[in-house]
Structure formats: structure tokens, C-alpha cells
Amino acid sequence: MTLLVVGASHRTCPLPQLERLSAAASDPVEIGRLVLAEPYVTEAMVVSTCNRVEVYVEADRFHPGVAAVSAALSTGTGIDVAELGEHMYAHYDGAAVEHLFQVVSGLDSMALGEAQILGQVRSAYTRARTAGQLGPAMAAVVDRALRVGRRARAETGLDRLGNRMVTEALDVAEQHVGPLSGARVAVVGAGGMAALVTATLARRGASGVTVVNRTESRATRLAASVDGQVAPLSALPDLLAGCDVVISCTGSVGHVVEAAHVEAAVAARGSRPLVLVDLALPRDVAPLPDDLRGVVVVDLETLGLRLAADADGTTEVTRARSVVAGEVRVWRSEVEAATVTPTVVALRSQADAVVSAELLRLRGRLGNLDPAVVAEVERTVRRVVDKVLHTPTVRVKELAGGPDGSMYAEALQTLFGLSVADSLDPVASFGDGGPGAMADGGRP
């Protein structure tokens, strides 16, 4: 199979456009259905998170595959293809596998190492398989990626870096309201990010925490971890007036914190500052009036600027990237070795056919021979052929794992006139020179 990924993330797309794309792609199964209705695509998986919208497909050609995914995304989101192309990237074959390994490991996230992406890709995988949109070819690659993500975290301290986004957000909040141990905090949402927030609040000694969620049972579990309280979403306007910090991280498509409610809360608060931390995409906090005083909004765009400064220089990130690079090399070697197998099988089958034909001709010419002699001659001839073929077949498998490995199998096919049912397709865009952008000359 040939993997193609077309997507947009915080690295290539301004937050307002990414927010719009994320909201429009809120039904991944429908996007997958539209993609599969296009030509050149046989399997599809849609990953939509707060930092990215990506479509992974099995496609036999790069440019037609990109066009098919772009057309489906445009139909599903109502965003013009040309506008989509301004901020999207595409990776093909080996480059796509490497990108997926990096994504699942948390190396392509705004908060490097964040653990949520592993579960988000797993959910996308399960969703696509349940909908019948993912077959065995892509499933094997995604399974491998999930294992790589777990390994990158198990063998490095990458998970510790994953807390940085929440830590940075709470640091900003403390700059305005003082230590959180004495602050009144509301956490809106009860998913994976909310769990990370409450765990971080607990480590900072926060005691006045209220978890706000539509589902009371999920909120209760989180609130228990900080000896906090639970409130329904309808109580949020009143909490805005009484809390010092509100951290919202839901999966809602619409705004959860309305501007009118914030304005009313400000009027009731007097001079006390209110910090609104928005960790969601699409954003939970509605745009606020420019002249609204006393409110500090900390969102993904703000945090991205703070986290970018030293993100790439950490030892743990370097170690995790080494893990991913090693896994990509192993994957590539395995793919190349599997690709060369039909050629080896064809070569040995041809040799076996020649040996059988020549032995049959020999028996016809020599007449009745002692069966023991015939058996010994046959063993000798086959042993000679096996020894002659051993070195080239072993070497072609070894060479298949290196650069341009498929050309050695193609050379065997040409030299011996082999007919191989599973023809060899060169590995495209693995490293330099392959199609790794939306179009010729586009963003890599």
C-alpha cells in the first residue's frame, strides 16, 4: 500500500483558519465517506484535534490522491479548494509514515510530547475501522504508529514535556491572580485535557476547584481528584462572576463561554481580574470586546508563541526523534524486503522449473536408471542450483533495505526475464526528491 496524508496543523495554518477547518470537519466519518467516493482512494482515516485536521488515505498516485482528498475536504467543509491549499501539506509513502510516527509520538504537537494525541489517533483508527473505511493495509501502518508512540514515551521523558502547555497556561494565570492554591478555579470539560488540567491543579495545591460539564458522572470523577465541586454547564455564567480562573477545554463546536456572560461577570466583579484559559479548538471562549477591561484571555495562539522558543532543543525531544527515526528505518527495510520477495520467489520458481525439465530430459535420454542413482543426481543438481542462488537472493534482500533498494529486484527481473505478478513500485518521497508538498513547489 501507499500512504498519503493531506492536512493542516498549527505549524502551517493560522489559528482562525485552523479553527474554521476543525469546526467544519467535526464529522470525521462523513469526511471519510466523501474521500472514499473519490477516485484513486481505497482506505481513509480522519484525525481531527485541537492542533490539526489530517486525512490519511491509501492512494496509488500522489497528485491524483491529493486532488481527491482536497475535493472531499472542500465538499465536506464548504471551504474552497484554493483556500484549503494555502495552508495544507501533503506527504506520500515513506514521508507520510514518518509524519504519522511523529504525530502519534507527540513530536508534531504544539505542546511537544502531549499524551492526548496518542488516544486521539487511536480513536480515529477505531472510528474508521468501525465505519468500514479502514482496511488491513492502512490498519497495519496505524497499528505500528501507535506502538511507536508508546515506545517513544516509555523510553524517554517526553510525557513530562506534554504537560508544558497546561503548565504554561497556569503560570500565566498565576501572574495575574497569584498562587492557585488560594484561587477559585473552574475547569470546563471532563475529557483528557481536563484530566491533565485537574492533575496539574492538584500538584499546585489548588483547593477551590469546580468542574463544569454536561455529564455529571464524568465531572464527579475529575472533581474528586482535587477535592472539588461539580456544577452543570448552566451554572457557568454565575461561576464567571465568582471565579478567578476559568479553564475551558471541551470538544464543543460552538462557544461555551459567551461574550455576554463575560461582560455581565466583569460588571459584577469590580476590579478583580478574571483569567480565561481556552485550550480548545474550535475555541470555547467567544471573541470579547476590545475595550473589556479586567479580563485576560490565554489561548492556543498565545501558548504557541510561548512554547516555541526552546521547544526543539530539549534532550528528551532529541531522544524521541531518534526512536522515531529508527522505527522509520525498520519499517522501510521491512517494506522493501517484502517488496523484493515476489522477485526471489519468481527466481527460485524459474530455477526449479528448469531443473525439473532438465532432469526429465536426462531420464528420457538415459533410459532405465537405478532409482537410487536418479535420486542422487537430482539431489546434487538441486543442491548446486540452491548454492548458486543463495548469495544473490540473500544479498538482494539485504540491499532492498537501503536507498533505491527496489532497483536490485528490478535488475534481477530484467537479467533473468522474470515475470512478477506484484510489480515493484519505487518508494516515493522517502527523503529528498519525492513529492512532499501539496503541489510542485508547494510547502513541504
CATH number for the domain spanning 202: value is 3.40.50.720
Find the farthest-apart pair of alpha carbons in the chain and give their distance in angstroms, rounded: 113
Q: Are 62 and 429 in contact (CB under 8 A)?
A: yes
pLDDT of 436 higher than 60: no
Q: Are residues 277 and 359 in the same domain?
A: no
47 closest CA partner among 21, 68, 65, 78:
21
Number of domains making up the chain: 3
13 included as an active-site residue:
no
Q: Are residues 29 and 155 in the same domain?
A: yes
- Same-domain status, 8 and 150: yes
Same domain, 92 and 138: yes
- Residue that finishes a domain, picked among 106, 126, 160: 160
Compute the mean pLDDT over every residue in the chain, rounded to the nearest whole number: 84
Mean pLDDT of 108-132: 88
Residue 109 annotated as part of some ligand binding site: yes
Residue 59 sits in the same domain as residue 145? yes
144 and 175 in a single domain? The answer is: no
Q: How many residues does the chain have?
A: 444
Establish whether 190 is an annotated binding residue: yes
169 & 303 share domain: yes
Query: Are residues 185 and 131 both part of a single domain?
Result: no
Is 259 part of any known ligand binding site?
no
50 is known to lie in a ligand binding site: yes
Comparing 1-10, 71-80, 214-223, 305-314, which segment has the lowest mean pLDDT? 305-314
**Residue 153, domain CATH:** 3.30.460.30
Q: Which of 149, 168, 171 is nearest to 158 (CA)?
A: 149
Assigned domain for 258 exists: yes
Q: Are residues 291 and 206 in the same domain?
A: yes
191 has binding-site annotation: yes
Q: Is residue 228 part of a domain?
A: yes
What is the span of the domain harbouring residue 405? 337-416
| Inter-CA distances, 435 with 73, 93, 363, 432, Å | 20, 9, 57, 9
Tell if the pTM clears 0.85, that is, is over it. no
What grid cell was written down for 141?
Answer: 501502518
Distance CA 112, CA 62 (A): 29
Q: Which of 13, 50, 243, 249 is catalytic?
A: 50
Q: Is 163 annotated as a binding residue?
A: no
Per-residue pLDDT for 433 more than 50?
no
- 444 in a structural domain: no
Tell me, yes or no, whether 295 and 352 share the same domain. Answer: no
Residue 194 known to bind ligand: yes
- Order of strands across the sheet that contains 245-248: 229-231, 208-212, 184-188, 245-248, 274-278, 295-298
Q: Given this model, what pLDDT does residue 300 score?
A: 80
How sure is the predictor about 291, in pLDDT bands with cuts at 50, 70 and 90? Answer: confident
Is residue 388 located within the same domain as residue 410? yes
pLDDT tens digits for range 152-190: 989 988 777 667 788 889 999 999 999 999 899 999 988
In this structure, the answer to whether residues 66 and 109 fall within a common structural domain is yes
Residue 243 among known ligand-binding residues: no
**49 annotated as ligand-binding:** yes
pLDDT at 46 over 60: yes
**pLDDT value of position 165:** 80
